[in-house]
Structure 1
């Protein structure tokens, strides 16, 4: 591990599968990004933005049905959002965000790649996500599960950045480093995959709090329609491990609009360049989808 790169957050994720940074955003930043997010949410709920996560569907591909009952908005950096996307350029490429990512991935800024930047919101009717690991299907054998868990644990970094109170994320601490127990396997392949699992905890975030987590930690989410949720959700990749990340990232259709994307910060231009190279490498390749449901 390079000694010149801080590794506090890397070590916390390595140990428990997630790390929380309280008051990551200033009150001014919270207000700015929340106002920008509310504009995009209204735009999406009004049926003007097809790239949404529709209630009842957990993983891509999501239908373009323009229902206001959505639990997420995809593509905050998408050029078709025009001026509505501008505040998110700044947020995603800020020095303080990239410093945290560099710590987690033990990488210099020049080694970081743009990936995804989306938003998680409250649906209009209650909804929950099943227990899952983001890149490992629940039906795999214990041997397959162990093999994937050991591969490139720090190929990417995934986060939730809360702009409102948010206790939706539920995790099993430490589960990113081991295969499921027999008990956990039964719970995660059952017909009802949202049952209580012994050892689960909620990850409560206040406005401005940031959590990064290993995306193969056992996790799920519970969405209440009564509680306003506005949480920025995204990821970054390590340029040396792009092949590992390709399916999970390109399944969201980012390569379709990337050629038209014009970043408004120098950091974002550098991040984009790495993703452009990855998209070219897999141009014309049907990678499929990481999960189903």
Structure 2
């Protein structure tokens, strides 16, 4: 596939502190690529280097193998709302489209289509300050895609949205990717990332910790876990074969058994003793949320992680 964006061995210093250390990844045409990490990991610094807000001290950022990234080819939805509050919705959309050298007549037509799609029909002459947080997020999203960018960077795009609006955003993001837009998605909502992303790049303390497709991450990094609903003795569960650790939720009858890397699910289930109280059992891999927590806190949900370099 065609690499739209290439980040190659990027390093960045703030005074004597190295905040990015040899960061490398690609975002391909028509791909949803997630960049993840705890607060302070280096995500925002990476995005700012891509946007040209700051420049790397080491390495390169290129767009279609060109070091100069044309600003009219990039759409950016920042984490914080950045729209002028006392300006009408249509005026701010057309102003931002004009900054990208996009034809204003076409921009107006597309803006009206998007406002209708996002249930904002009739709001074009309302000032931004009159909008709710969710409405403002929708307008900011429209501003980021109105000029038909080839590369779209979304930083916490689902912030402030109700479930219905989240579904609208997910549908539109997938549609843009299908049309060939390269999408770099940053979000702390791991369930949405796990549902949408084709690949992910996880950064911690300025360094790569995971880089691969979602299937590769789940296969090579995520151990299995078994969730059992039923009253059971903690010590007994801890003595079961291939159990790395057990969590019991206080006040409930639920136990979560985190299993070792070598476990064979079918054989392990057959080995469970008859005395275990099982009212309900779910066997699956740990979630992306749990992987994130494991890396960010050293919670040790996973015994051993694979090194992914897809």
Of structures 1 and 2, the one scoring higher in RCO (CA 8 A, sep 6+) is 1
Confirm or deny a common fold (TM above 0.5).
Answer: no
- TM-score range (shorter-chain normalised) is under 0.3
Compare the two structures and name the one with the higher helix fraction: 1
Compare the two structures and name the one with the higher strand fraction: 2
Normalised by the size of structure 2, how large is the TM-score?
A: 0.25
Larger Rg: 2
